[in-house]
Chain A
């Protein structure tokens, strides 16, 4: 079947044709993971459904809400729009890799301190996005933080407190 040109297959044959899983090496939260992945698996689905890292949330699944934001080589990205197989050799950091109970990341502590969430569903994405914002270094004022955090929607409308939390950590970073 593999030798038959794909365009000559019937829809039923197309749906049944064997498709190889792809060997993919990820450095995930500091750990080497050698995985075999179906090509259509998004990074978001891989994290949540295969690797039991459910801190990363599925909101819209279309790149419109930011709940699935993770860091790829330190750069914030929507994990719902990345196929996992395209990330071979890359370093992925999720909320679980930033901090843990008892050892909170400064952004996590600041979000608690400033009450920067209500339902909490967008929070992991907000925090990963804020870490990406800090890494990028383009935001310093409240106006810049608000614009640079605009890829993360909060349905509860905790934006004022989110900006407070991010500005607090940004201030600590700028003083370093």
Chain B
């Protein structure tokens, strides 16, 4: 870890002022940033500790939604009674990720800003366009089991590692940010980027901007939802493929559908045309297969991750079945039904 200056910010304005230079970084729970600093992947010269900012509340929004403060921990969020009752898909996704210790430290703002766990990004002795622009990509043609099959570019095939973000994408959350030019709201679909020609940019956050809250809209799909996560071991591992589903059923037909996938792209993967396949239809495996085909159309595998395409297809069908039946995946009993 390189030597750095350390600041404790007492209010958002001070934090933004101190955090605007590109050699500064905000520190919240630290579960990802401190790790990246130990590996010399992140090398901030100034660390702005934002843990004292007043962003630790979950509050009701006018019109029925909930506002999650950026510094509320992942554990506090997942076990919040309102989240469990109204947004069980989000609680389930959070509890599918990391370990209890990490969830106790990790914050909501930090979760959506975490970096990829691509092995090449983490290993400074290998090339990575995300870490060092123009260096090349070690994962393309390398070992790429946890890499993307959708929305990749010739410069980067990294995946976004978050479980929580997959549920936030399905819920169409909104990210509240504040920066040198004031406050703005970013739709969740616009928050994370595909790698394109600038794989070093994970999000659309601008210099000095800080996430203050994540807003959940009123519809939480609490009756028909699931978060299904497939991984190399049953707990404490990143997703190979995951699927968040929220359905609203009326008279046995699908009135509204949200489907997001994790582990397959540089951001939570959604496609409007895949969700539209379900509208007005009775939920059955035939329809679910059409949805999976639409969601995964154009997927391209690498030598050691091509299995994700068929795995993803089957996971989408299984997750839709779980959601339609009102039998969501348990994050304790990991058997998949």
Q: Residues on A close to B: CB < 8 A? A: 6-7, 14-15, 17, 19-20, 22, 39-40, 42, 61-63, 66, 69, 75-78, 81-83, 85-86, 88, 129, 132-133, 136, 138, 143-144, 147-148, 150-152
> Known contacts A77-B101, A85-B6; is A150 also within 8 Å of B333 by CB?
no
18 residue pairs bridging A and B, Cβ less than 8 Å apart? A6-B5, A7-B21, A19-B6, A40-B1, A69-B101, A76-B104, A81-B105, A85-B6, A85-B49, A86-B49, A132-B100, A132-B104, A133-B100, A136-B75, A143-B333, A150-B234, A151-B236, A152-B99
Query: What residue of chain A has the Cβ atom nearest to residue B45's Cβ?
Result: A6
The residue from A78, A85, A143 contacting B102, defined by CB atoms under 8 A apart:
A78
Chain B residues within an 8 Å CB radius of A81: 30-31, 34-35, 102, 105
A19–B3 contact, CB under 8 A? Answer: yes
Q: Residues on B close to A: CB < 8 A? A: 1-6, 8, 21, 23, 27, 30-31, 34-35, 37-38, 45-47, 49, 51, 75, 79, 98-102, 104-105, 234-236, 331-333
Q: How far is the CB of B80 from chain A (nearest CB, A)?
A: 13
B100–A148 contact, CB under 8 A? Answer: yes
Chain A residues within an 8 Å CB radius of B37: 40
Docked Cα-Cα span, A120 to B1, in Å, equals 29
Q: How far is the CB of B234 from chain A (nearest CB, A)?
A: 8
Q: How far is the CB of B134 from chain A (nearest CB, A)?
A: 20
A6–B51 contact, CB under 8 A? Answer: no
A19–B34 contact, CB under 8 A? Answer: no
Query: What residue of chain A has the Cβ atom nearest to residue B233's Cβ?
Result: A150
B4–A39 contact, CB under 8 A? Answer: yes
Chain A residues within an 8 Å CB radius of B38: 61-62
> Known contacts A63-B31, A77-B104; is A19 also within 8 Å of B4 by CB?
yes
Q: How far is the CB of A136 from chain B (nearest CB, A)?
A: 7
> Known contacts A39-B5, A39-B6, A42-B34; is A63 also within 8 Å of B102 by CB?
yes
A77–B235 contact, CB under 8 A? Answer: no
Docked Cα-Cα span, A152 to B102, in Å, equals 11
> Known contacts A19-B3, A86-B51; is A136 also within 8 Å of B35 by CB?
no
Chain A residues within an 8 Å CB radius of B51: 86
Chain B residues within an 8 Å CB radius of A66: 99, 101
Q: How far is the CB of A65 from chain B (nearest CB, A)?
A: 10
Interface-central residue, B2, B6, B27, B51, by most chain A CB under 10 Å: B6
**A-B complex: 8 closest residue pairs judged by Cβ atoms:** A151-B99, A39-B6, A150-B235, A151-B101, A81-B34, A150-B236, A78-B101, A147-B332
> Known contacts A138-B79, A151-B101; is A83 also within 8 Å of B236 by CB?
no
Q: How far is the CB of A166 from chain B (nearest CB, A)?
A: 13
Q: How far is the CB of B8 from chain A (nearest CB, A)?
A: 8
Chain B residues within an 8 Å CB radius of A63: 31, 35, 101-102
Chain A residues within an 8 Å CB radius of B45: 6, 14
The residue from A14, A15, A40, A129 contacting B100, defined by CB atoms under 8 A apart:
A129
B47–A39 contact, CB under 8 A? Answer: yes
Chain A residues within an 8 Å CB radius of B23: 6-7
Chain B residues within an 8 Å CB radius of A150: 99-100, 234-236
Chain A residues within an 8 Å CB radius of B98: 151
Docked Cα-Cα span, A77 to B8, in Å, equals 21
Docked Cα-Cα span, A76 to B103, in Å, equals 10
Query: What residue of chain A has the Cβ atom nearest to residue B1's Cβ?
Result: A40
Chain B residues within an 8 Å CB radius of A62: 35, 38
Chain A residues within an 8 Å CB radius of B2: 15, 40
Docked Cα-Cα span, A147 to B333, in Å, equals 9
Interface-central residue, A40, A63, A143, by most chain B CB under 10 Å: A63
B332–A143 contact, CB under 8 A? Answer: yes
Query: What residue of chain B has the Cβ atom nearest to residue A61's Cβ?
Result: B38
A75–B333 contact, CB under 8 A? Answer: no
Chain A residues within an 8 Å CB radius of B31: 63, 78, 81
Further 9 A-B residue pairs, CB within 8 A, beyond A7-B23, A81-B34, A86-B27: A6-B5, A66-B99, A77-B101, A83-B27, A86-B30, A86-B51, A147-B235, A150-B234, A151-B236
Chain B residues within an 8 Å CB radius of A151: 98-102, 236
Docked Cα-Cα span, A39 to B75, in Å, equals 26
Chain B residues within an 8 Å CB radius of A40: 1-4, 37
Chain A residues within an 8 Å CB radius of B27: 83, 86
Chain B residues within an 8 Å CB radius of A136: 75, 100
Interface-central residue, B2, B101, B333, by most chain A CB under 10 Å: B101
Query: What residue of chain A has the Cβ atom nearest to residue B331's Cβ?
Result: A147
Q: How far is the CB of A26 from chain B (nearest CB, A)?
A: 15
